[in-house]
């Protein structure tokens, strides 16, 4: 005869165990389904991404030509754009400009190379590298180089332009600014008023002389001015070599002032008024124009975006995963 108390107690003792196991299995099942769904989504995404990349590469191959859409082996005017800030890592960096220039000069169909300039300036180092390379390529390939200025050709941009045989501008272009600057801020007076103490430790008494929170001594200022003057003289020498007797030197010419395109022609900073089409048609005598400027092509842009999207998607996917407890 069974004990009623024992039979009544057994269900109560086994129920917590059954409930715990059921909950664990349910959580495991749901986690497995979520993982499978995430894997399936990523698989679809990658397939779609590779398909887009393949299409972009195919499209880029079909449209590899330049502005004129002409076979590069035929006579044409080669164009290299110099736009925006001239700086390392920018579109108008020496690396990118020099690469484009070499391709333009080496093409047998290019009758001349035109620098299409629209830049306020930038690094004198980058500009110097480009200027030197233009002069080397001109001598090596025996091809003329023309600079065509759109909105502006100032400072480091003009440093590059003077390597051209002739410079053409719009009458309202901004040209010149033959000078060098080093800018910054000083907050020492404000810190004194606020009672803020600057604690800067250096090895070398002049290591922190460009620190905006430390006072600048007269020797430090003189040293910086010497550097600027030397670079300025290098700039002036490059302009004189490039423009030669066409320059009408005045006390203001190398002072850092800039002029309109018409004034630049009058001062010998430019040779005449004209745009890209005018130079290609009337000066080079090759109306077909091909742009050799290096840009991120569609495939490169997509690859960068895919990389960012994949990283962001992976982070979100990891965040969505619920840990088992």
Across residues 246-275, what is the average pLDDT? 94
**Interval 125-143: pLDDT, tens:** 999 999 999 999 999 999 9
Q: Which residues contact 35 (CB under 8 A, 6 or more apart)?
A: 321
pLDDT confidence band for 310 (50 / 70 / 90)? low
- Higher pLDDT: 294 or 27? It is 294
Kindly tell me if the per-residue pLDDT of 302 is higher than 60: no
Per-chain mean pLDDT for the chain? 80
Paired strand residues for 212: none
What is the token pair recorded at 283? 């000066």
Q: At what angle do helices 124-141 and 218-243 cross, to 10 degrees?
A: 20
Q: Alpha-carbon distance 318 to 181, whole Å? A: 50
Which among 175, 65, 64, 161 is positioned nearest to 114, based on CA atoms?
161
Maximum mean pLDDT: which of 8-22, 177-191, 212-226, 308-322: 212-226
Kindly tell me if the per-residue pLDDT of 304 is higher than 60: no
pLDDT confidence band for 23 (50 / 70 / 90)? confident
Task: Report the pLDDT value the prediction gives residue 56, as an integer from 0 to 100.
Answer: 63
What is the token pair recorded at 28? 């495991």
Task: Report the pLDDT value the prediction gives residue 57, as an integer from 0 to 100.
Answer: 60
Which among 102, 242, 81 is positioned nearest to 158, based on CA atoms?
242
Kindly tell me if the per-residue pLDDT of 4 is higher than 90: no
Across residues 298-319, what is the average pLDDT? 51
CA dihedral of 232, 238, 240, 243, whole degrees rounded to 10: -130
Neighbours of 57 (CB within 10 A): 15
- Higher pLDDT: 72 or 228? It is 228
Kindly state the helix (H) or strand (E) to which residue 238 belongs, with its residue range.
Answer: helix 218-243
Task: Report the pLDDT value the prediction gives residue 164, as an integer from 0 to 100.
Answer: 96
Task: Report the pLDDT value the prediction gives residue 180, as an integer from 0 to 100.
Answer: 81
Q: Which residues contact 156 (CB under 8 A, 6 or more apart)?
A: 86, 119, 121, 122, 123, 124, 126, 127
Q: Alpha-carbon distance 122 to 153, whole Å? A: 11
**Interval 163-182: pLDDT, tens:** 999 999 999 999 998 988 77
Task: Report the pLDDT value the prediction gives residue 214, as an integer from 0 to 100.
Answer: 72
Q: Do 184 and 301 meet the contact criterion of CB atoms below 8 Å apart?
A: no
Q: Do 149 and 169 meet the contact criterion of CB atoms below 8 Å apart?
A: yes
Kindly tell me if the per-residue pLDDT of 77 is higher than 70: yes
Percent of the chain at pLDDT > 90 equals 49
Across residues 100-125, what is the average pLDDT? 95
């Amino acid at each position: 005869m069974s004990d009623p108390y024992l039979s009544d107690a057994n269900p109560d003792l086994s129920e917590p165990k059954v409930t715990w196991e059921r909950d664990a299995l349910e959580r495991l099942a749901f986690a497995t389904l979520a993982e499978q769904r995430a894997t399936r989504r990523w698989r679809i995404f990658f397939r779609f991404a590779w398909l887009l990349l393949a299409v972009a590469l195919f499209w880029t191959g079909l449209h590899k030509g330049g502005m004129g859409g002409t076979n590069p082996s035929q006579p044409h005017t080669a164009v290299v754009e110099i736009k925006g800030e001239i700086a390392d890592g920018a579109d108008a960096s020496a690396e990118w400009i020099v690469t484009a220039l070499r391709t333009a000069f080496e093409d047998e169909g290019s009758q001349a190379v035109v620098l299409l300039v629209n830049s306020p300036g930038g690094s004198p180092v980058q500009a110097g590298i480009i200027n030197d390379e233009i002069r080397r390529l001109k001598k090596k390939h025996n091809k003329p180089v023309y600079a065509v200025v759109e909105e502006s050709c100032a400072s480091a941009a003009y440093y590059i332009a003077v390597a051209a045989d002739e410079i053409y501008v719009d009458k309202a272009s901004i040209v010149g600014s033959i000078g060098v600057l080093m800018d910054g801020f000083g907050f020492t007076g404000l810190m004194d008023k606020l009672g803020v103490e600057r604690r800067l430790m250096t090895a070398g008494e002049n290591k922190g002389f460009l620190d905006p929170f430390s006072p600048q001594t007269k020797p430090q200022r003189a040293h910086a001015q010497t550097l600027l003057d030397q670079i300025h003289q290098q700039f002036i020498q490059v302009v004189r070599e490039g423009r030669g007797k066409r320059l009408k030197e005045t006390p203001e010419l190398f002072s850092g002032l800039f002029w309109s395109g018409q004034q630049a022609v009058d001062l010998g900073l430019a040779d005449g008024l004209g745009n890209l089409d005018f130079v290609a048609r009337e000066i080079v005598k090759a109306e077909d124009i091909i742009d050799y400027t290096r840009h991120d092509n569609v495939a490169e842009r997509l690859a960068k975006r895919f990389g960012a999207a994949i990283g962001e998607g992976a982070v979100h996917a990891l965040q969505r995963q619920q840990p088992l407890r």
